[in-house]
Amino acid sequence: MTQPESFPGLHAWFDTPLGRYVTAWETARFDALVADIFGYNALQLGAPEFDFLRANRMPFRFTAGSGRVQVETDYTALPFAAASIDLVVLPHVLEFASNPHQVLREVERVLVPEGQVVIAGFNPLSLFGLRRRLAGEATGYPWHGQYLSLRRLKDWLALLGFETGLHASGCFAPAVDQEQWLHRLTWLDCAGERWWPIGGGVYIIQAIKRVHGMRLIMPKWDRRAAGRALAPLIQKAGGPTKGCSQKSTDERNSGRD
């Protein structure tokens, strides 16, 4: 197994005022989404500092990735059997993974049919995305990540056979580092949800793995129908029977009388 990817800079950023502002919104949304998802096994990939499965009631919940996790693994090669996990939560892994397509493919592989994935990501079409463009790629977390738009992520999920469900965006305040300014600008969250609902700094989306099956429908034959269908073939192969020929001759003779 290859060395798992680690994002220590991102973990440290979550402890800043802006990071706490983001995680507070995401925790509330994760709690609401995973509470009514049922099954046996729930997996959180990444962000081990936070328990985004705490509101879920599955008997076996665990974290995987790097750091303080139950299972240390590479995100692109999960050590779980196919169709063995009922729920996967993916907080801010795709933006910083070297191969996000493969991460999603692995998530699709390990999910059971009708299993669900809940993904949180940074929105490039927001004030957070604007700061990322102004900051440049040379800066640290989270600004150097490859942000995925919600529309692009939906396309990726659809190609893998997922049906997207609920989604929301939040954290409409500018990406400032000072806690006092964040408190002063919290009114933008209410205004943004009403006037610009897709423009939050982060988003969360739920998707369901759909597997289309095939059932072979056979015709329901009864004995009479089968007999009627086979009778012409029998007559064609063996010719008219003696009884039938005699009956036809008798009918012609009676007609002459």
Range of the domain at 172: 8-209
Element of type H or E holding 41: strand 41-45
Query: Per the domain annotation, does 132 fall within a domain?
Result: yes
Residues 198 and 234 reside in one and the same domain: no
Of the candidates 188, 162, 164, the one whose C-alpha atom is nearest the C-alpha of residue 174 is 188
Count CB atoms within 10 A of the CB of residue 158: 13
pLDDT at residue 127 is higher than 60: yes
Which residue has better confidence, 138 or 93? 93
Which residue has better confidence, 2 or 54? 54
By DSSP bridging, strand 71-72 and strand 162-170 are unpaired
Lowest mean pLDDT segment, chosen from 97-106, 117-126, 170-179: 170-179
Distance CA(57)–CA(120), nearest Å, equals 20
Kindly provide the b/e burial profile for residues 75-109, where b requires at least 16 CB atoms within 10 angstroms of the residue's own CB. Answer: bbebebeeeebbbbbbbbbbbbbeebeebbebbbb
Residues 198 and 243 reside in one and the same domain: no
Give mean pLDDT, residues 49-57. Answer: 95
Residues 100 and 26 reside in one and the same domain: yes
Domain with residue 135: its CATH number is 3.40.50.150
CA atoms within 13 A on the CB side of 231: 8
Residues 103 and 183 reside in one and the same domain: yes
Residues 199 and 230 reside in one and the same domain: no
Distance CA(147)–CA(151), nearest Å, equals 12
Q: Look up residue 163 and give its two tokens.
A: 């049906």
| pLDDT digits 0-9 by tens, 154-211 | 999 999 999 999 999 999 999 888 888 888 888 888 888 888 888 999 999 999 999 8
State the pLDDT at residue 227: 59
Which range, 14-28, 202-216, 218-232, has the best average confidence (pLDDT)?
A: 14-28
Task: Quote the percentage of the chain above a pLDDT of 90.
Answer: 57
| CA angle (153, 104, 68) in 5-degree steps | 115
Residues 193 and 248 reside in one and the same domain: no
What is the number of structural domains in the chain?
2
State the pLDDT at residue 201: 94
State the pLDDT at residue 1: 46
By DSSP bridging, strand 202-209 and strand 111-122 are antiparallel
The overall pTM is greater than 0.85: no
Residues 141 and 252 reside in one and the same domain: no
Residues 180 and 247 reside in one and the same domain: no
Residues 169 and 232 reside in one and the same domain: no
Q: Quote the mean pLDDT of the chain.
A: 85
Of the pLDDT bands very low, low, confident and very high (cuts 50, 70, 90), residue 217 is: low
Helix axes 150-159, 100-110, angle to 10 degrees: 50
pLDDT at residue 232 is higher than 60: no
Of the pLDDT bands very low, low, confident and very high (cuts 50, 70, 90), residue 32 is: very high
Which single residue is written with the structure tokens 């049922």? Answer: 38
CA 103 to chain centre: 12
Of the candidates 112, 131, 135, the one whose C-alpha atom is nearest the C-alpha of residue 123 is 131
State the pLDDT at residue 188: 87
Q: Starting at the edge strand that comes first in sequence, how are the strands of the sheet with 202-209 ordered? A: 71-72, 60-65, 41-45, 85-91, 111-122, 202-209, 162-170
| Class of residue 232 by CB neighbours under 10 A (exposed 0-12, middle 13-18, buried 19+) | exposed
State the pLDDT at residue 155: 96
Count CB atoms within 10 A of the CB of residue 131: 17
